[in-house]
């Protein structure tokens, strides 16, 4: 299993292909927020039902996690140039999700229309 804290510290990047993102780590997902940069006018979509195959597909490889957002189109095009992001609320794989100290918000950034993703741990996703 690959730690998200270590991957972020090491500056590892992921990539997007249309509605699919590849993360260079594993994690215990609690919720996912996806959408435009937050403001009073834009509210992100929140995904909490990871069992709904029509909304989200999750696949883990030996050193990565693949998230497929089935209700969205080209994520890099829609969220690129710092116009949006994905927020994962998660714990390290195998950690106790009931201990608040283990839970983190991970911001996935789309910097341009290319496929590369960046990651950042943020304290409060509403203060971005």
Sorted by where each begins, the domain ranges of the chain are 4-122
Output the pLDDT for position 127.
Answer: 67
How big is the CA angle at 100 (ends 98 and 103), to the nearest 5 degrees?
A: 95
State the pLDDT confidence band at 102, using cuts at 50, 70 and 90: very high
Task: From 3, 8, 38, select the one nearest 117 (Cα to Cα).
Answer: 8
How many CB atoms lie under 10 A from the CB of residue 22? 17
**pLDDT at residue number 52:** 82
Which residue's structure tokens are 């979509």? 45
In angstroms, the CA 108 to CA 86 distance is: 5
Q: What is the mean pLDDT of residues 39-57?
A: 76
pTM (predicted TM-score) = 0.87
């Amino acid at each position: 299993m690959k730690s998200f804290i270590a991957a972020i510290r090491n500056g590892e990047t992921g990539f997007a292909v249309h509605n699919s993102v590849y993360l260079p780590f594993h994690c215990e997902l609690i919720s996912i927020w996806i959408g435009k940069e937050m403001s009073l006018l834009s509210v992100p979509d929140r995904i909490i039902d990871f069992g709904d195959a029509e909304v989200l597909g999750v696949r883990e490889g030996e050193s990565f996690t693949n998230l497929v957002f089935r209700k969205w189109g080209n994520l890099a095009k829609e969220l690129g140039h710092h116009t949006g992001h994905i927020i994962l609320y998660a714990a390290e794989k195998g950690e106790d999700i009931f201990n608040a100290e283990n839970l983190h918000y991970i911001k996935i950034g789309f910097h341009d229309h290319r496929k590369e993703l960046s990651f950042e741990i943020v304290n409060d996703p509403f203060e971005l």
